Amino acid sequence: MSDKPTGEKPKDPFKPYKGRFETYGRIPEKGRQPDDIIEELSVMAKEEDAAWKSGKISGTYYHAGEAHRAFLNKTFSFFSHINTIQFDLCPSMARFESEIISMTAAMLHGDAAKDQHPPGEVCGTVTSGGSESIAMAVKVYRDQARAEKGIMAPEIVMPKTAHPAFNKAGEYFGVKMVTVPVDLPDFRVDPKAVAAKINANTVAVVGSAGNYPYGLIDPLEELSELALHHDIGFHVDGCLGGFILPWIEKAGYPVPPFDFRLPGVTSMSADTHKFGYALKGTSVVLYRHPDLRRYQYFTFPDWPGGIYASPTSAGSRSGGLSAATWSSMVSLGESGYLAAAREIMRVAREIRGAIESIEELIVIGEPTFLVSFRSEILDVFHINDFMKTKGWRFNCLQLPPALHFCVTLPQTRVTGLGEQFKDDLAEGVSYAKQNAGTPAQSSALYGLAGTVDGNQQVTELLCGVFDYMYSI
């Protein structure tokens, strides 16, 4: 058996198991016993689970509890060996994915499309995650504009706060991403600024519901009108908020229209593996009409190996994920999603209240489940440094410096978390005051950003981190 953990605190956060367990640079000559492997993996899992069980981790872990996770793992196991593209042999895949799409479309008011643009019928596909959902929409608008309008140098206009997956997709598919600054007072994109960027090559505009940095919903009604006026696509990125905003709205909180109720919305992305509480590795991309979805498909009929076709950029995918996603949605039901949203908003309001009680801090915009804050007096990264000593993990933001905390279900299971947050945050502010004028540890990366030289250094640093992670 491999070496037992020593119990010593790891010195390298990226390689905490190096030296504790055997490292494999090649397939071992003799395989290990399954029980031995299970024991080793259980040690790793237990240590890593301790962080999210504290309730102090922003976002990251979205599951709906241990019993729900065990249930999904079991449903996954029935179909883990199944390939979703072989639906002729495994018709369960067609059932799971078509119903996932239909349920998601209904949740996001897909029925409104029929009333607005008969015979509109919202449709979509299941993808491997939000990045793929976004990438597929970018491809669709590129190909549609090329085929129907002859646009060969496509551009998409999006807020600076839109997810970098759009930039990634633009790089992959040769689409120019035109970004619009997001400024004070509310950090949402200005529709007039978006309109000023639209030209003859614009194929679509983007809005978020809500955006990752601040959790805010862009002025989507105005963007919808812009898209209709210019006869271009309009993608609403609901990867983060798509599976919780509908239930926050049903719970009675003010949420502006963000889905297919807006007639200009032509596509949406929504992650089932976030607030849909499915296993990691699934998302849904929806389109207002099947004709639009057709531009997503890839077909290659002239291959010696037979006719090849793929609905998404992925080829083989495990059917276990689709089975688990379907099982999550059907087992929770509307009542389960609504109850979860109410609990999440209860904690989020406590978090917001704690921040608003401190005069040196400013809550950004009108948040719901994700609360971000900044300061015009203190270095918020000093606050982050202190909060890390108490076990809290914020997400650090830049341009301007800020912090955010995204509430998921694990936070709702910890008694007194809101009071603990309030007490620790107050101490963090005191710490920031005491250390004013000194550099914060958390701000080292962000201190380089905003200049050409700084951003080049950051790029080199991040690429180096990836290189190191893939070393043994």
The per-residue pLDDT for range 24-74, each reduced to its tens digit, is: 999 999 999 999 999 999 999 998 888 888 888 888 888 888 999 999 999
Residue ranges per structural domain of the chain: 79-326, 439-472
- 8 Å CB contact between 130 and 239: yes
- 8 Å CB contact between 284 and 104: yes
pLDDT at 11: 66
Measured over the CA atoms of residue 254, residue 392, residue 19 and residue 22, the dihedral's sign is: negative
pLDDT at 7: 45
CA 175 vs CA 143, 162, 264: distances in Å: 10, 15, 21
pLDDT at 470: 61
Cis ω for the linkage preceding 400 (within 30 of 0):
yes
Work out the number of other CB atoms within 10 angstroms of the CB of residue 71.
16
Measured over the CA atoms of residue 59, residue 69, residue 73 and residue 27, the dihedral's sign is: positive
- 8 Å CB contact between 301 and 307: yes
Mean pLDDT of the residues in the chain? 90
Structure tokens at 148: 């129907």
pLDDT at 440: 86
Which contiguous run of DSSP H or E holds residue 238? strand 233-238
- The CATH architecture one would assign to domain 79-326 is 3-Layer(aba) Sandwich (3.40)
pLDDT at 339: 97
**pLDDT at residue 13 is higher than 90:** no
How open is the CA angle 274-397-352, to the nearest 5 degrees?
70
Work out the number of other CB atoms within 10 angstroms of the CB of residue 100.
24
Structure tokens at 323: 């089975």
Structure tokens at 362: 């400013």
b/e burial code for range 371-407 (CB count within 10 A of at least 16 → b): bbbbbeebbbbbbbbbbeeeebbbbbbeeebbbbbbb
Name the CA radius of gyration of the chain, rounded: 23
pLDDT at 312: 93
Local confidence band at 14 (pLDDT 50, 70, 90 cut-offs): confident
pLDDT at 456: 61
The per-residue pLDDT for range 242-270, each reduced to its tens digit, is: 999 999 999 999 999 999 999 999 999 99
Give the closest residue to 240 by CA, choosing from 206, 274, 202: 274
Q: How far is it, in rounded angstroms, from Cα 327 to Cα 325?
A: 5
The per-residue pLDDT for range 161-205, each reduced to its tens digit, is: 999 999 999 999 999 999 999 987 789 999 999 999 999 999 999
Give the closest residue to 109 by CA, choosing from 282, 271, 258: 258
